[in-house]
Amino acid sequence: MTYRNPVPTVDIIIEMIDRPTRPIVLIERLNPPYGWAIPGGFVDYGESVESAALREAEEETGLVVRLIEQFQVYSAPDRDPRQHTVSVVFLATAEGEPVAQDDAKTLQLFDLWQIPKPLCFDHDRILQDYRYYREYGFRPRLI
């Protein structure tokens, strides 16, 4: 019997706390699917989701981040066009100068009201939920 299970991933919403408006870091992807994305990636075998989030943040942005909290889990089967993934999304803070690395073509800081298009995966939904959380102080319902 062959099992087909979703693949675990992480995404990290990184707020730059050393800037007045606390912008977030987005990367422009070097590999398909192309577009802007929240930093993140696949969880390696034997790795915790927290360790994966710290590693992916540093690999893609050069930043050593501080994980603040686990925000939400997103698991729609079509959220990633490559395969079914489940993403644990973390909120994190950082200071310094982020630099595009690894599979990031470019990197830019964005205020929440100036998010670029297109966003990859379901990152538009994630950032919409995050804006709601920041504005009203509670998480929106996922279902």
Q: Are strands 85-94 and 7-16 parallel, antiparallel or unpaired?
A: parallel
Mean pLDDT of 44-70: 97
Q: Which residue has the tokens 């942005």?
A: 61
User: Helix H segments across 11-78?
Assistant: 49-61
Tally of CB atoms within 10 A around 103: 13
Q: What is the dihedral of CA 38, 50, 8, 94, to 10 degrees?
A: 10
CA dist 143 and 58 (Å) reads 32
H/E stretch holding 129 reads helix 123-136
What domains can you pick out in the chain, each with its CATH number?
Answer: 7-136 (3.90.79.10)
Three-state SS at 134:
helix
pLDDT in tens, 26-55: 999 999 999 999 999 999 999 999 999 999
pLDDT in tens, 90-143: 999 999 999 999 888 999 999 999 999 889 999 999 999 999 999 999 887 766
Mean pLDDT of 70-82: 95
CA dist 99 and 140 (Å) reads 32
pLDDT reported for residue 143:
66
Nearest to 44 by CA among 83, 8, 91: 8
